[in-house]
Every structure is written in structure tokens, then in C-alpha cells.
Amino acid sequence: MTNAVIVDAIRLASGRGKPGGALSGTHPVELLSHVLRTIVDRNGLDPAQVDDVIGGCVQQVGEQALNISRTALLAAGFPESVPATTIDRQCGSSQQAAHFGAQGVIAGAYDIVIACGVESMSRIPMGTSAMGQDTGGAGIATRYPEGLIHQGISAELISAKWKLDRETLDAFSAQSHQRAAAAIAAGAFDGEIVPITVTNAAGETVTHTVDETVRTTTAEGLAGLRPSFRTDEFAARFPDAPWQITPGNSSPFTDGASAVLIMSEEMAAKLGLTPRARFHSFSVVGDDPMLMLTAPIPATHKVLAKAGLSIDDIDAYEVNEAFAPVPLAWAHEFGADPAKLNPLGGAIALGHALGSSGTRLMTTLLNHLEATGGRYGLQTMCEGAGMANATIIERL
């Protein structure tokens, strides 16, 4: 069987996903085109050799509409002969892009593919793609007559089900910032972040290289924040919800882009490129769309079974911190080592630029395995409507 290998993985430093954020003045096409151009240039790759570009983007409307992956590769100067497609598996969009790319290599359909992702939450706010419309229709209304709920309420329900109190959520969230700040200070992200020249809020031309979403904070400081999602309607519907999800224990709105260069082991050898990891196993699952954020648990069970590995065989796990209860519930279910869970901080600190997050996590996971000598890394993330992808990579 052909092995699909990762030759390189890069990302932009995060920008706050609101007006005035470091990347908010830059069109999302430019964010994505920058990482596409950089990943081929720094590997001496002729972009004409790329068989496909598969990108993730959640809010495919406005500046992110009309197949942004294709627009971005054209903006990056790739030959017009290179195709691209943009997919939406909600928060796991670019992780799914990596799955599709690697699976295409394994199947023999591709020799070289770039999986990537982008989201500008400052320019295309979350929820914009729905445009105020009913996106469910009669069938959903019949199956779920009380109506589906948004992810913030799901996070509250997970907190209740796994008996996670506010102190636990805030301590985990503060730790995420502390780990990320320590990683920045130690230069742990230097090999994965590529500089981008942008215009800041003051109109100055600057080079952005440091994650803007990381904060100096403590659990005690986070304890003062008010819950975000309690309303009289939801409180009546969910009387057991603890109402403790706040901006401090949630991932912030974020701008970002990332990319992973994937090819067959044979092609890497032919081009004189050194593979850094191989794709070992994949899974994607659906789960309860009300709890919504719990699907990383069955996705992990499935990918471990496919791999023939146990959680103890994994050297690091990246579980996307959409909200603090998600990785905490996951860790509880697997008895996971807290030191291996998001060891450089997670999305609560580093941000969650929706369509970019899948390949961003993969980039950080790969670099951490290399820095520590770990062999196996597992990545999983919750996705809207109750889905999750899980991936195991093996460092080479």
C-alpha cells in the first residue's frame, strides 16, 4: 500500500477575529494564498506538480465564497492547470481536507496534494452563511420538534453530564494560555509559523509572527467572567444546565490560515524531500446533534481500533478546545494523561479560525512530536451538528 506522508506543515500566527485584529485588514484570499505560496516555495516544489488543493472553510459567503481555495491558489501564482475545492465539515473542515488528500494519495489518485484551511472571523462573522434563514426545513423540525441548539448550550450540557464545575473549566483554560505563552517564549512555534506582512489598525505595515489570542491570565481572573449563553428560554428548557460557559473558557473568534503538504512516499523520494510523518489511521463519525460536541469520543475509539493502538501508545493528543468541557470530557472517557493533552496550549489560547483549525492542529502536533521524539500523535475535533474527525499520524 502507498504511504501518504507529510512533507511540511505551516500556519499563520493567530489574529483576533474582530475589527482591529492583526489579520483583520487582510482579505481571506490573501491569508490562504500566502500559506500556499510559502509551502511550495520553502520546499522548492514546482506548483504545477500539485494534483489538487483541498481547502476547508466554514463561512463560504462574501469574501470567502465561490471556492476560496481555487481563488487563493490563483492569487498565489499557481498555474491555472492546478484545481482546487473547498469543503465544509464545520470546525473539522481542513482536517477532513487532510483526510481526503491523504486518502487520495493512498488510493493512487494523487501524487501530491495540499490540504489547507482559512477563516477570517473578523470579516465574515460566525453565522453569516445562514443569512438569517431557516437552514433546517420540515424534516429537521419533525425529528427535533423542540429545535436544535447552538454549541454554547451543548457545552453547558456536557459540563452537566460529566460533572465539570466552573473551577475545573477555568483552571484548564488558564493552563491553555500558560502553556501557549511558555511555548512562544521557548520558540516552540518558530518552525511552524510563517511571517505575513499586514497593515495594522493604525495603518502601519508590520510583520505578524506571534499568536495574538494568547493572554496572561489565571483561573482566578477567569472566574470573574459572566456566563455567555443563559437566557430565560434556555434556562426553562434545560433546568439542569450549570450556566458556566464564558468567553474565558471558550475559544475566541480568530483569523488564520494553515497548510499541509502531502504526497506519496515514492514522490517525496523522487523529489529529494524528506517525509516528516505518515498518515497512520483515519476516522469520521456522527453523534448526538444536541450534545453535538461529544463526537471526538467515538471518533477516537474508532481510530484507535483501526490503528490497533491504545491511548497509552499515543505520545501527544490535540483535542480542539472549542470549549473547555470538550477536551475535559474526552480526557475523562479515555483516562488520558493531562500532560499529553494539548501540551502547547489549545484553541482557548491559540484561537479557533474555524476552517483553518484542522490543519493548524496537525501542524502543531507534528512539530511537537519532532521536538519531543514522540512517535504517534492523535488529533480530533468536534464539529457542528454532532460530528468529529480523528487522525493518527506517525513521526518518521
**Confidence grade of residue 68 (pLDDT, cut at 50, 70, 90):** very high
Catalytic-residue membership of 382: yes
Question: Which domains, from first to last, does the chain contain?
Answer: 279-395 (3.40.47.10)
Q: How confident is the model at residue 169 (pLDDT cuts 50, 70, 90)?
A: very high
Residue among 91, 99, 116, 280 flagged as catalytic: 91
- Assessment of whether the complete model's pTM goes beyond 0.75: yes
- Known catalytic residue: 91? yes
Band of pLDDT at residue 220, cut at 50, 70 and 90? very high
Average pLDDT, the chain: 97
- Provide the pLDDT for residue 334: 98
Give the residue with greater pLDDT, 202 vs 235. Answer: 235
Compute the average pLDDT of residues 153-160. 97
pLDDT bin (cut points 50, 70, 90) of residue 200 is confident
Would you say residue 249 has pLDDT above 80?
A: yes
3-class SS letters over the chain? CCCEEEEEEEECCCEECCCCCCCCCCCHHHHHHHHHHHHHHCCCCCHHHCCEEEEECCCCCHHHCCCHHHHHHHHCCCCCCCCEEEECECECHHHHHHHHHHHHHHHCCCCEEEEEEEEECCCCCCCHHHCCCCCCHHHHHHHCCCCCCCHHHHHHHHHHHCCCCHHHHHHHHHHHHHHHHHHHHHCCCCCCECCEEEECCCCCEEEECCCCCCCCCCHHHHCCCCCCCCCHHHHHHCCCCCCCCCHHHECCEEEEEEEEEEEEHHHHHHHCCCCCEEEEEEEEEECCCCCCCCCHHHHHHHHHHHHCCCHHHCCEEEECCCECHHHHHHHHHHCCCHHHECCCCCHHHHCECHHHHHHHHHHHHHHHHHHHCCCEEEEEEEECCCEEEEEEEEEC
pLDDT of residue 127: 86
pLDDT at 302: 98
pLDDT tens for each residue of 250-301: 999 999 999 999 999 999 999 999 999 999 999 999 999 999 999 999 999 9
Using pLDDT thresholds of 50, 70 and 90, give the confidence band for residue 390. very high
Among 177, 208, 280, 382, the one annotated catalytic: 382
Catalytic residue among 99, 177, 352, 368: 352
- The pLDDT of residue 47 is 98
